[in-house]
Amino acid sequence: MKNLGSVMAAYLASWAIFFVYYWSVGRRVSRLRDDVERLKSTLTKTSRP
Amino acid sequence: MAAQTKRELPGLGLSVALTAILMAAAGYAALYIAPTERTMGQIQRIFYMHMPSGINAFIAFFIAFIANIVYLVKRSPKADWLAVSAAEVGLALISVMLITGPIWAKPVWGVWWVWDARLTSTFVLWVMYVSYLLLRGLIDDPERKAIVSAVYGIFAFLDVPLVYMSTRWFRTQHPAPVVFGGPNSGLAPRMSEVLGFCMVAFAALMLIMLRLRYKVEEMRHEVMELEMDAAQLSPELLPASGD
């Protein structure tokens, strides 16, 4: 079982990168969705006679 | 991710769940099914994450390369969105390769890092794609940003064949390739099967990340269009979010 700690460290580091990246993309999508909603509601209000 | 995004990307939840299961199965196969390598022992199991992440990073960079060429020829914004998405996903994958490599190297070589042709060219590749993303952040005009980054992206990709061929062209500390490496290379059949499975799992992960990242570009475009509409109706409504 020599070096099993290093193997685990490599796997954990890799999973951490994927999770952080997935989270960062999800956060960007969420922010942009908020912007789209805000702008759409602004446009609806502004274009009302 | 929120329910609305799931509606915007049909089947996203299922794809993410399937990819997570595939990745977990790949991890299990690498740790428990693949035989222990005779010389290096357990540490060699890093290979099943190290190589698939590298190969899929190259595939992502190749997608970016093709998309950059398509952008320069057709000036299609969608090609630019695909290029930046693939470049970012490739960067995440090559980062995994660069982190797992030294963890593997330390017990085997006695050092974390050596500046041989393979490691140096991979590090240069990482730096070039970080620069590609930074460069995009420096240019405001969308068309100019797309043109400059497409040209730079094509240039950056030229390092990928160099990384791939470096162990064949130069004497390196990094070992010669065991897959497609010539007559004295190769893996035990069970190792090849596990490696193939890990490649498929990483390819699925790369594609799902690419689809999600592309969605960010689509939404950025939608926000820009809405901001322009809002500016025409009422300029004082701007600026919107800086994202």
B224–A contact, CB cutoff 8 A: no
Do B42 and A1 make contact, defined as CB atoms within 8 angstroms? yes
**Interface contacts (A, B; CB < 8 Å):** 114
Q: What is the mean pLDDT of residues A7-26?
A: 94
Cβ separation of A33 and B2 shorter than 8 Å?
yes
**pLDDT for residue B144:** 94
Give the global pTM: 0.90
Which pair of structure tokens corresponds to residue B3?
Answer: 């329910």
Average of per-residue pLDDT values in chain B: 89
- B47-74 and B189-233 are packed helices; what angle lies between their axes, rounded to 10 degrees? 40
Domains of chain B by residue range: 53-177+199-218
Provide DSSP, B166-216: HHHHS--SSPPPSSS--TT----HHHHHHHHHHHHHHHHHHHHHHHHHHHH
Mean pLDDT of B96-122: 93
For position B181, what pLDDT does the model report? 65
